[in-house]
Amino acid sequence: MNKKFLVAFNRTRGAEVASRVVVADTPKTRAVGLLSRSSLEPGEGLWIVPCASIHTLFMRFAIDAVFLDEDLVVRRVLEDLKPWRLSPWVLSAHSVLELPGGSVKGTVVPGDRLEIG
């Protein structure tokens, strides 16, 4: 994974979503995703680009998944997605921001616009 950290900010609500986001934008980094991790710490995230569906097969922890369109508008949020689950295919999604399970708690909802940079 690329070690350059980005910040995810919810423009709609004026709040930071994650301060240490890593981008997975190559076939290898998208395939590995969070499989090599034992957890995500508060403030960490993985932004998978492009991506419209995820799985938590072989993962050891729950995540929150924020599905974003090409304009970074939230299209769907899955909170506390447990290991060994499949997400639905989100047709309008272009990327997914994966966060520690239980971190979203309704602070990011469909229709919100994020900035990631």
* DSSP secondary structure of 81-98: E-TT-BPPP-TT-SEEEE
Residue 1 lies inside a defined structural domain of this protein: no
Q: Is residue 41 part of a domain?
A: yes
Give the β-pairing of 44-48 and 15-24.
parallel
Residue 29 forms part of a structural domain: yes
End-to-end CA distance of the chain: 16
Amino acid 3: pLDDT: 67
Splitting the chain (117 residues) into consecutive groups of 10 residues, what average pLDDT does each group show?
A: 82 97 95 93 98 96 98 98 97 98 96 98
Please give the pLDDT value at position 2. 44
d(CA 45, CA 67): 13
Structural domain containing residue 85: 6-116
Q: Which two three-digit tokens encode residue 10?
A: 């919810």
Predicted TM-score (pTM) of this structure: 0.95
Asked, for residue 104, whether it belongs to a domain, the answer is yes
Residue 26: inside a domain? yes
In a domain, 101, yes or no: yes
Counting the structural domains of the chain, the total is: 1
Find the CATH number of the domain harbouring 88: 2.60.120.1140
